Chains A and B, each alone.
Chain A
Amino acid sequence: MVDRLRGRTKEPVTAAPAQEPASPRDAVWARVLLARNARRPHALELIAGIADRFTELHGDRLFGDDGAIVGGLGRIDGRRVVIVGHQKGSDTDENIRRNFGMGKPEGFRKAIRLFELADRFGIPVVTLVDTPGAYPGAEAEERGVAEAIARSIMVMCRIRVPIVTVITGEGGSGGALAIAAGDVVIALENAVYAVISPEGCASILWRTSEKAPDAALAMRMSAADQLALGVIDQIVPEPGEGAHADPAETARRLRAVIVEQLDRLAALPPDELMAARMRRYRDFGAFDDLGGPEIPEAAERQGLGDRLRRALEPMGTRIGNFGAREGRDEPPAREEV
Chain B
Amino acid sequence: MPTLSDERFEAYLKQFRPLDPEPLPAAEPSIRARRTFVLRTWATAGAAILVLALIMGALTLQIRTPRTRIGETIGNVGNPEHIQDGQPLTMRSANALMAKSPSFKAMVDDMAFRSKAVPLPKGKRSAVAVLGEEKIKL
A, B co-complexed: no
